[in-house]
Amino acid sequence: MSAKIIAGEADIAAVPTNLAAILYNRGIPIQLAAITNWGVMYVIGRDSTITTWPELKGKEIGVTGKGSTPDLLFRYFLSANGLDPEIDLQIRYYPSPAELAQLVIAGKVSLATLPEPWVTEALARDPDLKVLLDYQTEWTRLEQRNESYPQSALVVKTQLAAENPALVRAFLNAAAESNRWVVSQPAAAGCLAEKYLFISAAAATEAIPRCNLRLVAAHQVQPEIEYFLEKLYSFQPQSIGRKIPDAGFYLPE
């Protein structure tokens, strides 16, 4: 995906917010148009005695995407709760959520961090599995904010926005509309998901609420985005491209 954006093949793209920042900071001519979801990460497992983050101490947990936003958030939550990620638990990295989900279902991994829709997939396959911890609620609790973190975004080619703002506006409106539709009609949306994505309808329907889907124009929630990016910067500057993006990053009205 990054390659396509860099090559200029994509006019509009859906990417993680931090990746949008990296690209912008590297001089790729894009702007942040909107946030599409507000966090899809959960910790799942079989041990229902784990209800708070400190209770992860001493456990072995599977994680995907080393260095990515979920990984950084996970480590942040651990330290904020008094745990040293290197010492107090055993973290094992896996290349992809699909693979990790498989292993959890198979029983080879008993505790894992996963994004939706794999969370629901796993829960559907094994009734003993439960959602134990929620990244989103932890974020709002720790940061004392009203919103969860803006995980995923839509970016637009700067040139396109400058030359054809009407088109961009229309697209964003349509996207917001479809976003709302999915949230309000999960069953119907589930059927579509089964058709176009590799997910069963039932799982998709159940996953939708947990996906925190809500499309908002970037300039309307700029403070939230800035706060999030600054937070990421404090964990690992390279995760947003080594500097905080300037105001030009955000697509204006």
Residue ranges that bind another protein, judged by CB under 8 A: 2, 6, 19, 22-23, 26-28, 65-68, 92-95, 99, 103, 108, 238-239, 241
φ/ψ (deg, to 5) at 64: -115, 165
Spatial distance between the Cα atoms of 157 and 38, rounded to a whole number of angstroms: 23
Spatial distance between the Cα atoms of 137 and 121, rounded to a whole number of angstroms: 21
- Minimum separation from the CB atom of position 27 to another protein (A): 6
Nearer Cβ to another protein, position 8 or 252?
8
Nearer Cβ to another protein, position 52 or 238?
238
Q: What is the token pair recorded at 133?
A: 């911890």
- Minimum separation from the CB atom of position 60 to another protein (A): 10
Nearer Cβ to another protein, position 92 or 180?
92
Cβ–Cβ < 8 Å for 20, 155: yes
Spatial distance between the Cα atoms of 101 and 109, rounded to a whole number of angstroms: 9
Q: At what angle do helices 69-80 and 222-235 cross, to 10 degrees?
A: 80
- Minimum separation from the CB atom of position 127 to another protein (A): 23
* Strand order across the beta sheet in which 130-134 lies: 90-94, 60-64, 111-115, 41-45, 130-134
- Minimum separation from the CB atom of position 93 to another protein (A): 4
- Collapsing DSSP states into helix, strand and coil, what is residue 226? helix
Nearer Cβ to another protein, position 64 or 212?
64
- Minimum separation from the CB atom of position 73 to another protein (A): 15
Nearer Cβ to another protein, position 19 or 122?
19
**Smallest Cα–Cα separation from 235: which of 121, 77, 99?**
77
- Minimum separation from the CB atom of position 252 to another protein (A): 25
Nearer Cβ to another protein, position 66 or 180?
66
Spatial distance between the Cα atoms of 110 and 127, rounded to a whole number of angstroms: 13
